[in-house]
Structure 1
Amino acid sequence: MRNSVSSADNRIFVYEVEGLRQNDQTQNQSYPVRNSSTILLQVPYRRMNEEMRRITRLGGKIVNIRPLTAQETSEG
């Protein structure tokens, strides 16, 4: 019998985002936001839609989404 938790639930994706503005909402984040370049955010599969909406609300544009690789997790 398979585990009730899907392997998709454990996957992490990397969002490359440009154009986020520093504001009251982004001040509360644990990472700096810059207007001039892109930032990389690690997003769990289960939060992908929520994070897309948040980025849009903050004025950002997602320019790339890719799965986080095992090599990247061991480097961090």
Structure 2
Amino acid sequence: MLGQVLTGRSGSPSNGRYFQYEVTGLRQSGETDANGYPIRSSASTFITVPYSRMNEEMQRITRMGGKIKSIKAL
């Protein structure tokens, strides 16, 4: 079972798990304009992502100038 988790095979406990990031300090930019909604830099924004995209989303938040305040498993 440990080998399955490390290799990411289907049926592993990570499938279907979602996490919610609480992010502050996001700024409006060309990348965030594609979202279709304005972002206020003073407010917290909540972003829900699957386990498989956690690292990619952290990098995207950093590029947009945000800081991750908390991460919560859903």
TM-score by length of 1: 0.79
- Alignment match of 1:20 (pick from 1, 18, 26): 26
Shift of residue 33, structure 1, vs aligned partner: 1.4
What is the CA–CA distance in structure 2 between the aligned matches of 1:52 and 1:33, rounded to whole Å? Answer: 17
Deviation at residue 26 of structure 1 after TM alignment: 0.3
Residue of structure 1 in register with 2:50 after alignment: 44
Unaligned runs of 5+ in 2: none
Alignment partners' CA distance in 2, 1:40 and 1:30: 16
Higher helix share: 1
Name the counterpart of 1:54.
60
Over the matched positions of the two proteins, sequence identity in percent amounts to 52
**CA offsets 1:11-37 (integer angstroms, 9 cap, x no match):** 000000000000110011154311111
Q: Which runs of 5+ in 1 are unaligned?
A: 69-76
User: How many pairs are equivalent?
Assistant: 67
Please report the RMSD computed on the Cα atoms of aligned residues, expressed in angstroms: 1.8
